[in-house]
Amino acid sequence: MRRPRLASVRVRAAVAAALAAALCFSGGALWLRHVIYTNRMEASIETAQKEARGIAATYDTPEARLNAESGALARQVTEEESERLGKLSLGAQFPFYTDSYAVVDNHGKLLLAQERLAYYVRESGLTFPSSPPEMDGWTGQITVLLRPSFNGERGHKLDGREVILVAANIGGPSSGDVKATAYVLATPLDADNAVGAVDPWLIGGLPAAVLLVAAVAWWAAGRALRPVERMRAELQRITAADMSSRVPRPDTGDEIAQLAVTMNETLDRLADAAERQRRFVADAAHELRSPLAGLRNTVEVALAHGDAADPAVLDVTTRRLQRLTDDLLLLARLERTAPATGKPVDVAALAEELVGERLYRMPPDERFSVLAPEPALVLGREEELTRLLTNLLDNAARYAAGRVVVTVARPERGLVRVAVRDDGPGIPEADRERVFERFARVDEARDRGDGGAGLGLAIARDIAVRHGGTLYVADSTSGARLIAELPEAELPQAEPPEAEQNSD
């Protein structure tokens, strides 16, 4: 099944930015509405507190008695008081503070109610506490629910809402001296109006701000990805036949520039690997052509004359083909497998074993000697380390005149050094790296059947590198000296035996 195509990076960046902006702006809008509402409600409560204190201070006065039609504190006004109060302006007469208040005696009986509170007392049965609420200083607060009218009449803005009533005691400060309590409605309508004035701007501005952020993210992502598109187009033009092109590197110094550098470095490695592969295939074909041509020539001559093919020639040719095939397969395996891991291998004992085998050959090769005073452990694969030493010994055997010395030592902690020195013609300094190239020979005029295919030292270096070491040609006063340096295996230290306790 085909995987569904994902949206482009620009679309995903714009959507992510829009979602983040929507969350941030929505949270900011809610916080702003809360701050506005809270501030307006605090202002309304503060105003109601002043009004409640004013009512409590003036309720038991001639002005209050003149205007209170009923109530425990109302009494008959004298003619003198009436004449004096008649000279006062209406604004100074009680009540002149607010139109939404009520006065309740200290048993919860309603004495007086005005406007909104009177409406809810009459229409929905609003009641007040049977005892004065606890005061914080001069005033206190209670929360009441303003239920809708009994007759189902709707439309009042405060129906079904909980509101705050600010209370102030009329009389002395102690509960025994309280004659009544004044309740003033801290109306939330002012806070609603303040929030309502902001809502149209928030409702219209929030989507516009989110769209603006998405557009900016779309534009910024497109501008940031423009170098990536150029790199993609350039990579599309690169083929195995022509790997000379490289992706353009932007001068931004950011992650995309680093990506371009990494891609070009990767392309360099791929081009180098492809070139080495082409050379390897060409050299392998060339090396295989000679023994195959010789083998075919031997067979054709035998068939033409009716004679049997020379067994010695066939043996030499097939052995050469076998060695070359084994080397090619080993190189291919070394390239595709992971770095070597394994168990500790004693390279000193391995060198002594390989040199000892040469002494028992027919005829024996007595040119080799080993100097390995102590064990030298290397963590790796024994068969690969054996091939490393075998190739070094074979190379020395081809060129040595009369002596090959193999030295295995531990010159410093954590390092094992294997040196193979012969008394042959040596390796020129200019060719000390070229000898490790595949199919390379220092002396091109050398007989191929005697000199090998030029893969031995290349394989030996690959094995050394896979084991975390190196292989190089060192300076020597006479002959050639090849040195392989490998990391020493770190074995866990054995715990000391516990001290035996003396028995009584």
Work out whether the CA dihedral 85, 86, 87, 89 comes out positive or negative: positive
3-class secondary-structure state, position 493: coil
Using CA atoms, how far apart are residues 324 and 331, in angstroms rounded to an integer? Answer: 11
Q: 136-185, pLDDT tens digit by residue?
A: 888 899 999 988 888 777 657 888 889 999 999 887 655 557 788 899 99
Task: Kindly state the percentage of the chain with pLDDT values over 70.
Answer: 78
> What value does the mean pLDDT of the chain take?
79
Q: 427-468, pLDDT tens digit by residue?
A: 888 888 888 887 766 654 344 444 456 788 888 898 898 888
Q: How many secondary structure helices (H) and strands (E) does the chain include?
A: 11, 12
- Which residue stretches of 59-140 are H helix? 62-67, 79-86, 115-124
- The token pair at 106 is 């200290």
Q: 357-367, pLDDT tens digit by residue?
A: 888 887 888 88
Nearest C-alpha neighbor of 368 from the set 360, 386, 356: 356
Average pLDDT over residues 216-221: 89
Tell the residue number behind the tokens 């490289």, with chain if given. Answer: 246
Q: Which distant-in-sequence residues (6+ apart) come within 8 Å of 381 by Cβ?
A: 340, 341, 342, 345
Q: Which distant-in-sequence residues (6+ apart) come within 8 Å of 337 by Cβ?
A: none
- The token pair at 301 is 């001559």
Please report the DSSP string for 245-290 in residue order: ------TT-SHHHHHHHHHHHHHHHHHHHHHHHHHHHHHHHHHHHH
Q: 248-283, pLDDT tens digit by residue?
A: 777 777 778 888 888 888 888 888 877 777 777 776
3-class secondary-structure state, position 138: coil
Using CA atoms, how far apart are residues 226 and 214, in angstroms rounded to an integer? Answer: 18
Determine contact, residues 379/489, Cβ cutoff 8 Å. Answer: yes
Nearest C-alpha neighbor of 396 from the set 457, 352, 439, 336: 457
Is the per-residue pLDDT at 64 higher than 70?
Answer: no
Q: Look at 198-212, 249-263, 363-377 and tell me which has the smallest mean pLDDT.
A: 249-263
Paired strand residues for 418: 408, 484
Determine contact, residues 318/355, Cβ cutoff 8 Å. Answer: no
Instruction: Decide which of 172 and 70 is more confident.
Output: 172
3-class secondary-structure state, position 324: helix
Q: Alpha carbon of 76 to those of 19, 69, 81, 178: distances in Å?
A: 71, 10, 10, 22
Q: How confident is the model at residue 302 (pLDDT cuts 50, 70, 90)?
A: confident
Paired strand residues for 487: 415
Nearest C-alpha neighbor of 398 from the set 335, 453, 464: 453
Is the per-residue pLDDT at 406 higher than 90?
Answer: yes
Determine contact, residues 138/168, Cβ cutoff 8 Å. Answer: yes
Determine contact, residues 408/348, Cβ cutoff 8 Å. Answer: yes
Q: Largest Cα–Cα distance of the chain, in whole Å?
A: 165
- Strands 101-105 and 140-146 come out as unpaired
- The token pair at 323 is 């060695």
Using CA atoms, how far apart are residues 318 and 447, in angstroms rounded to an integer? Answer: 17
Please report the beta strands in 440-499, taking only residues with DSSP state E, as ranges in sequence order.
470-474, 481-487
Using CA atoms, how far apart are residues 90 and 4, in angstroms rounded to an integer? Answer: 80
Residue 346 phi, psi (nearest 5)? -80, 100
Average pLDDT over residues 357-383: 87
CB atoms within 10 A of CB 114: 16
Residue 144 phi, psi (nearest 5)? -130, 155
Determine contact, residues 462/451, Cβ cutoff 8 Å. Answer: no
Using CA atoms, how far apart are residues 454 and 331, in angstroms rounded to an integer? Answer: 12
Q: Alpha carbon of 91 to those of 63, 70, 74, 95, 248: distances in Å?
A: 11, 21, 20, 9, 85
Is the per-residue pLDDT at 313 higher than 80?
Answer: no
Percent helix, strand, coil in the chain (nearest 5)?
Answer: 50, 15, 35
Is the per-residue pLDDT at 242 higher than 80?
Answer: no
What Rg do the C-alpha atoms of the chain give, in angstroms?
Answer: 52
Using CA atoms, how far apart are residues 67 and 70, in angstroms rounded to an integer? Answer: 9
Determine contact, residues 110/104, Cβ cutoff 8 Å. Answer: yes
- The token pair at 471 is 């292989």
Using CA atoms, how far apart are residues 22 and 16, in angstroms rounded to an integer? Answer: 10
- Strands 470-474 and 481-487 come out as antiparallel
Using CA atoms, how far apart are residues 4 and 123, in angstroms rounded to an integer? Answer: 64
Tell the residue number behind the tokens 């067979």, with chain if given. Answer: 299
